[in-house]
Structure 1
Amino acid sequence: MIFDMGALPPQDRYKIMTATIVPRPIAWITTLSRNGVVNAAPFSFFNMMGNDPPTVAIGIMPKAGLLKDTAANILETGEFVVNLVAEADASAMNLTCIDAPPEVDELALAELEGAASRFVAPPRIRTARVAFECQALTSLVTGPLQTIVIGRVLCAHVEDRFVLDAERCHIDTVALELVARMHGGGAYLRSSDLFHLERPS
């Protein structure tokens, strides 16, 4: 079957794309408003885009016809932290999905503790096993307030117990127990079911 995306309403396009572009890693983004309010929210329209410079991209959809707090804060300050989500943090992450007003600190709401970042003002989430401090390189408005943010990773925090060999930058990926987003309806995926293929030469 062919779905003509131009002829479909936005919600149906969303259903088709989110049901087939899976699994999607989750960027649990922390930002800081100009007024000093911490915002935390998860986004599954996210991935690594390159390593020289180290680059990530996040797609942020609007909320009720307005920029989401995350997008507004990044566009104002140019700084954000991408925290990756382990299964142990899944419930807290889900709580930060709430449509809260801009003055609400979602970390406090979810009873999470922030940790000071080294290069940017927004805090990391202390329980996140991996966090990337980022500076916005550019942003692109692709639709009515639908925004893609490209960020440069300034530094990566990886909890010591998951670093197998610091000199060789080897990380115990499976032990991180990161979760990914699947289709709609609150479906998530564990990262423990693996198979390997040798890359041909």
Structure 2
Amino acid sequence: MAFKKRKFEVIVMEINTEGKTAKEMYKLLTGSIAPRPIALVSTQDKDGVLNVAPFSFFTVVTSAPPTVMFSIGELNERKKDTLQNIEDNPEFVINIVNVDLGEAVNNAAANFKPDVSEFEEVNMTPVPAKTIDAYAVKESPIHLECVLDRIIKVGKGFMVLAQVKHFVIDDALYLGNYKIDFQKLNPIVRFAGSKYGEIGNIISLERIVNHDKTLQK
């Protein structure tokens, strides 16, 4: 399948970021950088209260060692429960979200009080992690059991780097040779505002190989 080029006159809107509010920038960023995967992060506080919350600023950092990143914003000038819990207990699970979990994940984003477990409020089932002191979401098809690498303060946000220590994967999704059937996984993705999406049209693009201007692996 080839991309079709459209001919049209480009009219641009220019917006300088200086002096703009965090809310204004959030809307521009989430509308422009889309779709985004969702990290459903399950943690526990010092008293053992379980917390689960979604974060759509989420990506892979490196595969050696396997490290992922998600970022947490401030909530009314205070730390969100997930961040506080990770500082108190640096072992947690990133649960991968599929379409079936969409409604529960959206509800888990509500601003619950610290002593309230989202697991109970949104009808998710906690199950003990296999290798760390944490709980995973049973309904999630892939669990990344993580330990904290570091937290980096960036402006009014916190970038959480986590090393993945163990994968728990639904057998129906595993193709062998360390490959996941992402079409069966059917991950839900985040756009802007209340808009979410799922996998649609898929194309395959081959890279240039054996070209005199490319380096050979």
Runs of 4+ in 1 over 6 A off after TM superposition: none
CA offset digits 1:88-114 (Å, max 9, x no partner): 111111111110011001011111111
The corresponding residue for 1:99 is 111
Q: Where do residues 43-192 of structure 1 align in structure 2 (5 Å cutoff)?
A: 43-144=55-156, 146-165=157-176, 168-184=177-193, 186-192=194-200
The answer to whether the Cα contact below 8 Å between 1:114 and 1:126 also exists between their aligned partners in 2 is yes
Percent of aligned pairs with the same residue? 28
Q: TM-score, normalised by structure 1?
A: 0.95
Mean alpha-carbon deviation: is it higher for 4-13 or for 67-76? Answer: 4-13
1:194 paired with 2:205, answer no
Distance in 1 (CA, whole Å) between partners of 2:107 and 2:28 is: 25
The corresponding residue for 1:25 is 37
Distance in 1 (CA, whole Å) between partners of 2:15 and 2:63 is: 34
What SS is found at the alignment partner of 1:40? strand
Distance in 2 (CA, whole Å) between partners of 1:120 and 1:63 is: 28
Report the CA distance between 1:84 and its aligned residue. Answer: 0.9
CA offset digits 1:146-177 (Å, max 9, x no partner): 21100000011110111122xx1122111101
Distance in 2 (CA, whole Å) between partners of 1:173 and 1:88 is: 14
The answer to whether the Cα contact below 8 Å between 1:40 and 1:70 also exists between their aligned partners in 2 is yes
Distance in 2 (CA, whole Å) between partners of 1:66 and 1:191 is: 35
What SS is found at the alignment partner of 1:82? strand
Distance in 1 (CA, whole Å) between partners of 2:19 and 2:115 is: 38
CA offset digits 1:109-163 (Å, max 9, x no partner): 111111110222221100101110111101111124x211000000111101111
Aligned residues: 197
What SS is found at the alignment partner of 2:14? coil
The corresponding residue for 2:46 is 34
What SS is found at the alignment partner of 1:98? coil
The answer to whether the Cα contact below 8 Å between 1:174 and 1:192 also exists between their aligned partners in 2 is no
Mean alpha-carbon deviation: is it higher for 123-132 or for 189-198? Answer: 189-198
What SS is found at the alignment partner of 1:194? coil
CA RMSD of aligned residues (A): 1.0
Gaps of 5+ in 2: 1-12, 210-217
Distance in 2 (CA, whole Å) between partners of 1:120 and 1:148 is: 21
Report the CA distance between 1:68 and its aligned residue. Answer: 0.5
Q: TM-score, normalised by structure 2?
A: 0.88
Distance in 1 (CA, whole Å) between partners of 2:183 and 2:52 is: 25
